[in-house]
Amino acid sequence: MTQPQAILVLPHLRIQNANAIASPLTHGFPSITAFTGVMWALERKLAQAGVPLRLHGVGVVCHHHQEQVTQGYVRSFNLTRNPVDKDGSTAAIVEEGRMHLQITLVLAVSEKRVPGTPAALVQGNQAQLDDWATQAGHILAGMRVAGGSVLPSRPVPGKRVRPWMAIVPEDSKAAEKEFRQWRRQWLPGFALVGRDDLLAQRVHDLRTTQPDTTLLDAWLHAARFNYEPVLPDSGTPAPDGQVQWADPRRPKGSGWVVPIPVGYAALTSQAHAAGTVRNARDAMVPLRFVESVYALGEWISPHRLTHLGQLLWHAEADEAKGLYRCRNTYQPTQADAASAEAAAPADTLDEWDDAEAYDYT
């Protein structure tokens, strides 16, 4: 993983009609793969504009979201009526999940240097950094983000709403000090981080009573509330016979944990040669059929992050396993880790294997 030389922050982006259906099994926020796709598309467009920047990772902070659904206990997506067909008949309704977002994207940046030329991503060259950030903002304004349209940002009191760049100090202590200043600009909001450790813990908990529990079973179990009667702290039933129902694995303060798609797993052992599959999006590159890979994520306040690496998501590809997934290096605090270790032995977490993450059969 390349150490970023700087960060490019695209703050308080207003996205209209973004894709709310992240995968066949989840909805409510775009997949993290949508934002890595934006990162790569932006890098290509920056190269076309002569901006020598390479983007390595992306962090997502959500400030506001509004899913386009009907209100009530049972909700359904608000659908649009398409124009009539050429013969005047009513066009078919295609169900689309849409949502409005206000997000901040934080991109890890390094410089594409030509041998023999001086470095530009250095302290004291803020004018050049501001120019590159402005160009990135103009380019992104004409792009799609998770399928949605980018609207002009509105002024936010005390916040920077224009794109900006800053150098990441090489010293770890200085970098953490700078990060504490940056994260203030992302409040109020929630950052999406990966929690693969919680899925490993859930598997261990369920297998104590159901040895044949699979990772998919554990993921589905963690994706819902599992209410059951619980006894008071004293261990004896209440005198009035009242029974309290709760999810014992979601106690108060356990965090905003959500099921998320994190990438794709290949359905075939070999990729199809370029141009051999009809109607492929790009006939110049090999094609491989895939299905979604799922994990658990958590929305946390940015002020709980201690360094930049905890925020960023990086894409990884394992051709041998056919696994293409995004990975985040967030680790819980010592107090959270202690409670997790009390529930699941350390050897269980150490044996966590990515190969199991998509071997559902």
- What is the per-residue pLDDT for 83? 80
Location of structure tokens 């009191």: 157
Q: How crowded is residue 101: how many other Cβ atoms within 10 Å of its Cβ? A: 23
Q: Is residue 358 part of a domain?
A: no
Location of structure tokens 């529990």: 213
> Can you read off the two tokens belonging to residue 102?
């206000």
- What is the per-residue pLDDT for 2? 63
Q: Is residue 63 part of a domain?
A: yes
Q: How crowded is residue 72: how many other Cβ atoms within 10 Å of its Cβ? A: 7
- What is the per-residue pLDDT for 134? 93
> Can you read off the two tokens belonging to residue 351?
């044996």
Q: Is residue 253 part of a domain?
A: no
Q: Model confidence at 342, in pLDDT bands (50, 70, 90)?
A: very low
Amino acid identity of residue 88, one-letter, is: G
Q: Is residue 343 part of a domain?
A: no
- What is the per-residue pLDDT for 1? 56
Enter the DSSP assignment of 3: P
The answer to whether residues 340 and 197 touch, using CB atoms and an 8 Å cutoff, is: yes
- What is the per-residue pLDDT for 341? 45
Q: Is residue 272 part of a domain?
A: no
Q: Model confidence at 261, in pLDDT bands (50, 70, 90)?
A: very high
User: Strand (E) positions, 202-328?
Assistant: 228-230, 244-246, 256-266, 290-300, 313-318, 323-328
Q: Which of 45-49, 91-95, 108-112, 339-343 has the lowest mean pLDDT?
A: 339-343
CA dihedral 321, 326, 329, 335 (to 10 degrees): -100
% of the chain beyond a pLDDT of 90:
40
Q: Which of 48-52, 192-196, 249-253, 311-315 has the lowest mean pLDDT?
A: 249-253
What is the phi/psi pair of residue 7, to 5°? -120, 145
The answer to whether residues 42 and 139 touch, using CB atoms and an 8 Å cutoff, is: yes
> Can you read off the two tokens belonging to residue 117?
């030329």
- What is the per-residue pLDDT for 180? 92
Q: How crowded is residue 192: how many other Cβ atoms within 10 Å of its Cβ? A: 23
H helices within the chain, ranges in order?
Answer: 32-48, 126-141, 172-182, 196-207, 215-222, 334-343, 346-350
DSSP reduced 3-state for 342: helix
Is it the case that residue 171 has pLDDT exceeding 50?
yes
Give the residue from 37, 28, 36 showing the smallest Cα distance to 101.
28
Q: Which of 56-65, 198-207, 258-267, 330-339 has the lowest mean pLDDT?
A: 330-339
Give the residue from 314, 356, 292 showing the smallest Cα distance to 26.
292
Q: Is 235 exposed, middle or buried (0-12, 13-18, 19+ CB in 10 A)?
A: exposed
Total number of domains in the chain: 1
Q: Model confidence at 352, in pLDDT bands (50, 70, 90)?
A: very low
Entry pTM: 0.83
Q: In this predicted model, what pLDDT tens digit does every residue of 196-238 receive, in sequence order? A: 999 999 999 899 888 888 899 999 998 888 888 887 776 677 7
Separation of CA 7 from chain center: 18
- What is the per-residue pLDDT for 235? 66
Over range 57-71, report the average pLDDT.
90
Q: Is residue 30 part of a domain?
A: yes
- What is the per-residue pLDDT for 337? 53
- What is the per-residue pLDDT for 192? 95
Q: In this predicted model, what pLDDT tens digit does every residue of 276-290 receive, in sequence order? A: 888 888 888 888 889
- What is the per-residue pLDDT for 246? 85
- What is the per-residue pLDDT for 345? 39
- What is the per-residue pLDDT for 359? 34
Q: Is residue 140 part of a domain?
A: yes
- What is the per-residue pLDDT for 84? 81
Give the residue from 59, 63, 60, 53 showing the smallest Cα distance to 167.
53
Q: Is residue 34 part of a domain?
A: yes
Residue 152: which domain range? 6-68+95-194
Q: Model confidence at 348, in pLDDT bands (50, 70, 90)?
A: very low
Separation of CA 71 from chain center: 26
Over range 57-62, report the average pLDDT.
94
Mean pLDDT score across all residues of the chain: 84
Over range 72-100, report the average pLDDT.
80
Q: In this predicted model, what pLDDT tens digit does every residue of 96-133 receive, in sequence order? A: 888 999 999 999 999 888 777 788 778 878 899 999 99
Over range 171-175, report the average pLDDT.
89
Q: How crowded is residue 67: how many other Cβ atoms within 10 Å of its Cβ? A: 17
- What is the per-residue pLDDT for 361? 27
